[in-house]
Amino acid sequence: SGKFYQHATTEASQATLASVSPVFAVMKFDKEGNTTYFEKKKTELYQELGLQARDLRFQHLMSIATRNNRIIVRMEFLKAVITPEFLLILDYRNLNLEHWLINELASQLAGEGQLVTYSLPFEFRAIEAILQYRISKLQGRLNTLQPQILETLEALVDPKLLSVDRSKLHILLQNGKSLSELETDLKVFKETILEILDEEEVIEELCLSKWTDPQVFEESTSGIDHAEEMELLLENYYRQAEDLANEARELRVLIDDSESIVFINLDSHRNVMMRLNLQLTMGTFSLSLFGLIGVAFGMNLESSLEEDPRIFWLVTGIMFLGSGLIWRRLLSFLGRHLEPPLPPHVPAVLKKSQPTAGRVEIKNNLKAETFGLSRSTLTNQ
């Protein structure tokens, strides 16, 4: 009874595992570009392909690996298995992915629009189509971000603005995050391709038809080296990714420079307001200082001066004149201390004794020092 119960429990557990086994929606492309659709369980699929279960595991990071004369490509939402005879796209149910699969991939796999005079093996066309799809997606993301970032920076760097629009800063922050994600994806793409290029054995393993098709093997021995063709193919897309990374890096530098300019503009406006506040404080101090005379005459103390009708205008004039003189004196003191210092003087004897190269070097150093001093003065002002 116990053995029967144990056997029934094992069968039930196996049936449960089989029922919950993931089912892949598969799109199959052959060498002529013909397309078929079917659904198959993961266990049946990796057994038919001669792979392991971990080879068909979902993974968002990009990877290109070879297993048992099969090429497994994982690339964000795209998961593909390439053989010398066909290409399998797993879980293709994505609107953007379906558009690419139906309208572009079939014609590329059939060999339409090739620039070479001889036909490359099927795995070359499949790898090139997948890498081209990935590069075009990255290029599209960069083309979308670039005008938005430039437009936002142009609005923020305007020197006439006394304050920064927070909505523009929010848009720039979101675009900066998207740019960082794009730079990360480009870095992963480049590192994946570079790892393959550094290993000659991996490049040889990617040439599947070289070891299965006798005709391709004869072509490789007769002078058409398919390993070199594969290396050139990967280098081409590595160079395209490098160009996109350089453009993204230029955008990042532009954002950092614009951020510095925004801070300089804000500091300049802040310094203007601080200087105006300081001037008004000086004026208030001057009026308060000579206002003590009016306070003295306003006390309820009798003197002989209040009997003279001209003394009011005399004291009032002295108060305003003294306040104006003190305020002007304070402003001249403030302006004298805010003026940029003069560059150091070079004696004439030193100029004559220095050779031409030394004079040029001293001149460049003086220019650099003067530029640094004027820049610091501009920041303070």
Do 41 and 86 lie in a common domain? yes
Residue 221 lies in a domain: yes
> In whole angstroms, what is the distance from residue 154 CA to residue 173 CA?
15
Distance CA 251, CA 141 (A): 13
State how far the alpha carbon of 275 is from the alpha carbons of 270, 279, 340, 360, in Å: 9, 6, 16, 39
Task: Please state at what angle helix 226-297 crosses helix 166-197, rounded to 10 degrees.
Answer: 150
CATH number where 72 lies = 2.40.128.330
Same domain, 148 and 254: yes
Both 107 and 195 in a single domain? no
Asked if pLDDT for residue 4 goes beyond 60, the answer is no
Confidence class for position 115, pLDDT limits 50, 70, 90: very low
Which one is predicted more confidently, 338 or 209? 209
In angstroms, rounded to a whole number, what is the distance separating the alpha carbons of residues 272 and 337? 16
Q: Is the pLDDT of residue 350 over 50?
A: no
Same domain, 162 and 197: yes
- Residue 164: the pLDDT is 62
Host domain of residue 103:
21-114
Residue 185 belongs to a domain with what CATH number? 1.20.58.340
Q: What angle do CA 215, 221, 224 make, to 5 degrees?
A: 85
Q: Is the pLDDT of residue 237 over 90?
A: yes
Q: What's the token pair of residue 1? A: 């009874």
Answer yes or no: is pLDDT of 129 > 60. yes
pLDDT for 343: 53
At residue 51's C-alpha, the angle toward residues 73 and 191, to 5°, is 30
* Choice between 119 and 361, residue whose per-residue pLDDT is larger: 119
Establish if 240 belongs to a structural domain: yes
Instruction: For residues 107 and 142, state if they share a domain.
Output: no
Domain membership flag for residue 288: no
Computed on alpha carbons and rounded to an integer, the radius of gyration of the chain in Å comes to 39
pLDDT confidence band for 41 (50 / 70 / 90): confident
- Per-residue pLDDT of 303-323, as tens digits, reads 667 677 787 788 778 878 887
Residue that finishes a domain, picked among 114, 133, 157:
114
Where among 99, 114, 129 does a domain terminate? 114
Do 203 and 85 lie in one domain? The reply is no
Q: Residue 308's pLDDT is what?
A: 74
Final residue of a domain: which of 114, 136, 165? 114
Same domain as 253, residue 162: yes
Higher pLDDT, residue 292 or 81: 81
- Residue tagged 């919950």 (tokens): 20
pLDDT at 248 over 90: yes
- Give dist(CA 17, CA 37) in Å, integer: 25
What pLDDT is attached to residue 222?
56
H/E element holding 154? Answer: helix 122-156
Backbone phi, then psi, for 175, in 5-degree steps?
-65, -35
User: How many Å apart are CA 62 and CA 26, to the nearest integer?
Assistant: 20
For 248, list phi and psi in degrees, rounded to 5.
Answer: -65, -35
